[in-house]
Chain A
Amino acid sequence: MFYREAGDFKTSYAADGQTFPIAFDRWRYFAVLAIAFLVVPFTINEYVASAVLIPFLIWSIIAIGLNILTGYCGQVSLGTGGFMAVGAYAAYKIMTAAPELNIFFVVLLSGGVTALVGLLFGLPSLRIKGFYLAVATLAAQFFLVWLFNRVPWFYNNSASGQINAPDRTLGGFLITGPNATPEAKYLFCLVFVFGMAWLARNLTRGRLGRSWMAIRDMDIAAEIIGVNPLKAKLSAFAVSSFFVGVGGALFFTVYLGAVEVGEAFGINKSFLALFMIIIGGLGSIFGSFAGAAFIVLLPVFMKNVMVGGFGWPTDIATHFEFVILGALIIVFLIAEPHGLAAFWRTIKEKLRLWPFPH
């Protein structure tokens, strides 16, 4: 009964174009923000932070990034893991080369470096499409992992071949390193998620976002209305890689702390990101969050309910996780190509009319 448009008239085009046109949605959004910033930090513990919250936040940024490229601009990428690695290694090199630099800027700069690398690997998209582009990005994935493995400069010649995040503080609080508190790590990631989701929302609703969608939906028609395919595709690669790079930098500095590239940023990370946006919803910011939440929560759920609750052996639960994931992806691809976001929209549409559907 509360979910209504009636009496909620738009009197300007600016109001009609806002992110949450329905008042109830707007209030729920502010409530989520208030809880995320004001309640969660005081109730967080080490397990919830490292198993659920921090990976969810970081993966959300990465999923938004991939969604910009694939969901909005229609360019499939299997190189997400590789670009996360670029963000991580850029962060490592910047941190060790400029120890004085604030960790906040380290993460942003790492995103910038990844954007440039993404631009480079986006060049083939000007010539090739669809399946062939996917294969080209797959090549980028393997090349980047190989590069960070083989060239000692990237890991400062460390004997283990690993990179380790040195301690860095922000406003007196430790953000990276083994002694950082879950509260500090969580809030640091949350600020990035909030800012970047806001940027993504703005970019996708304006001229640039429409040029991406035009290329995705019908590239010749995009051209005749003046969209330069080169600019549209490369900007999507750059913006997307910036997001993925920031995600990769946070993944390394805040979440893992120590990284062996093949393990942390292998091809399975590329697939995970792709699963997130397929399940969450292509071309939807909200869908990116929903997909990230789903993929992050699934193993936690399996572990706690199947292993903890029903007493299943761990390896069976892990295999079963893959079965569920695979089945769900098939279901979503066939039944609801726009993912959880569309599912959510349908429910809202029903609610809007409830209890009188006619």
Chain B
Amino acid sequence: MMDGGSFVTPDGRTIGDVLMEVRNITLRFGGVVAIKDISFDIREGEIRAIIGPNGAGKSSMLNVINGFYHPQDGEIWFRGAKRGPMKPHAIAHQGIARTFQNIALFKGMSTLDNIMTGRFTKMRVPWWQQAIWTGPAEREEVENREIVEKIIDFLEIQAIRKTPVGRLPYGLQKRVELGRALAAEPKLLLLDEPMAGMNVEEKEDMSRFILDVNDEFGTTIALIEHDMGVVMDISDRVVVLDYGQKIGDGTPDEVRGNQDVIDAYLGVAHD
């Protein structure tokens, strides 16, 4: 895996250049050091897993990447440019989308409206044309609705299209949240424990969706996951965190053989 060069995965997908890179990130909350001098990169087209025990700093890392937390130290590079301090909504417009560890859907809206709202960055018509509706606003609405319907088909949630999301079971809510993130057609998709709390069947479905998103749309994905089986199955490269520090980074096989990782994480019983 040469720096700057692309490589081909065992299953024949080409992984491109570095899309996102975090360099020497340190994040403190008062006395707590949540992230300590961590660097890693995410390459175009890959599925990058972030693993580690509870409290390792995984979610904090995603919050740094999408702008909720501002690290005291370190640099973030996205698409070849160093990123200054930015608000989360501006980062969304750059093409980074995410889901949350604890579902954060718009409870008062239907599945369809949640995913339509995910198209926010893709809609352009000014407010005064929206007020008139007929013409550009309606056209834009219909065009975006078509894309949203494709996502609904893709995630196999046609039957719950008009259901208020608050009424959906947990597994489906997770799926709708993925749909909302996909609606933005992100360059980088961050998934914080997309399979937490799911049964085996639901996990298989979700794994398949993640692989398909990566395969069909070429979306780069960084995901946090506790289920080692899933991580080893679907990810191209894995970064391992423990107590805010990076203790391993490489292909699933490399990480599996890393003694530090075995000691800190795989060796000890987890969950």
Contact = CB atoms under 8 A, between A and B. Distances in A.
B107 A199 contact: no
B217 interface: no
Contact of A221 (B87, B104, B113, B140): B104
B130 A225 contact: no
Contact of A283 (B87, B108, B120): B108
A206 interface: yes
Nearest to A220: B104
A209 B127 CA distance: 10
B66 A224 contact: yes
Interface string B112-124: 0100111011010
Contact of A207 (B106, B123, B146): B123
Contact of A225 (B87, B132, B184): B184
Would you call the interface of chain B mostly helix, strand, loop, or mixed? helix
A210 B87 contact: no
Interface in B105-157: 105-109, 113, 116-118, 120-121, 123, 125, 127, 130-133, 137-138, 140-142, 145-146, 149
Contacts of A16: 145
Given A202-B133, A202-B137, A221 B184 contact: no
B98 interface: yes
A210 B138 CA distance: 14
B88 interface: yes
Contacts of B98: 224
B82 interface: no
Interface stretch (B51-59, B89-97, B199-207, B245-253): B89-97
A206 B141 contact: yes
B121 A221 contact: no
Contact of A206 (B93, B130, B149, B181): B130
Contacts of B117: 210-211, 213-214, 222, 225
B78 interface: no
Interface residues of B, number: 40
B68 interface: yes
Given A227-B120, A228-B89, A229-B89, A217 B68 contact: no
Interface string A193-234: 000000100110111111101101110111111111100000
B89 A206 contact: no
B66 A217 contact: no
Contact of B89 (A202, A216, A226): A226
Contacts of B113: 210, 213
Interface residues of A, number: 32
A310 interface: no
Nearest to A211: B120
Contacts of B123: 207
B77 interface: no
Given A13-B142, A203-B131, 18 more contacts: A14-B141, A16-B145, A17-B141, A206-B125, A206-B137, A207-B120, A218-B107, A220-B104, A222-B117, A224-B66, A225-B92, A225-B180, A226-B92, A226-B184, A228-B87, A228-B89, A235-B127, A283-B108
7 contacts: A13-B142, A13-B146, A203-B130, A209-B130, A213-B113, A226-B89, A228-B89
